[in-house]
Structure 1
Amino acid sequence: MTNDIATECPQEDTAIRYNNKHINEERGPCPHAFDHVLFYVSSPRVVARYLVCLFGFHIYAYKGLETGSREVSATAVKNGTAILVFMGAVRPLHWEPLLPSIDSIHQHIAEHGDSVKDVAFQCSDLESLVLKIKSKRAEQLLISDEP
């Protein structure tokens, strides 16, 4: 059994470099690194402080009531190139007006507990990668070039 990831993303010596990104001439661009991992958690600040105190992470970014966000609170921590984002809802479930994004955070935490929601990858050419995914008939759940 072959490792699909290893065959899809060649090592640096067999890849062509374009704008400091690895591109294989035959297969096109591939995700070349993790960007960040998003967790839905009940208390983003507590989880972030735990990682800061015990594992040497530092606070990288924050979004919450102090920054004008009344719906969600998020804290990003970084250690080297590893970025972890912890997000939780500030509003209670089914608060008026209804916001599907807030309800989805509550529903995810109720079903799975504090857990990973998204894994974001860096890639050199998003449009080509989306076309490649669609051509292989893979289900495209959500692909976004938004930060």
Structure 2
Amino acid sequence: MNQKGKQLAIWGLVLQLGSVFGLVCTIIAMVRYFSGLADSGTAQASGLAQEISKVLGPAAAGSVFGLIGIILIFVALFRIRYRAPWFRTMLWVLSILWLMSFPLGTILGIIVIIYLARHKDEFTEQTPAGDALKAA
């Protein structure tokens, strides 16, 4: 299999997980802030806006990493044509998750799902012996 494609696919997956991590950090920080706000019973608009802007940092960073991850995955899939079976499974999972990220993620998810459905025979385990038999 193509080593460069494998590296791009792995890095793309790691960066996609980074975007999920950024979102989880943001949710945890928001829950902590609002539970503290409920305990104190008072809220100032300027303080609220400042805290919300602080906790959105991880989500913004995660979005940047996620976009880079999507680019790496698409380069591995369409440019380098990496076709490992694990990569196909990963693409199915990511595509389903992308469907929930309207509008860009939905479009990307649909494109990849259609591609995977049409090209399912390309994602097979390649062995050196199998390649030699095909060449003969």
Greater helix fraction, Structure 1 or Structure 2: 2
Greater relative contact order, per chain length (Cα 8 Å cut-off, separation 6+) = 2
**Which of the five TM-score ranges fits, normalised by the shorter chain?**
under 0.3
- Indicate the structure with greater strand content: 1
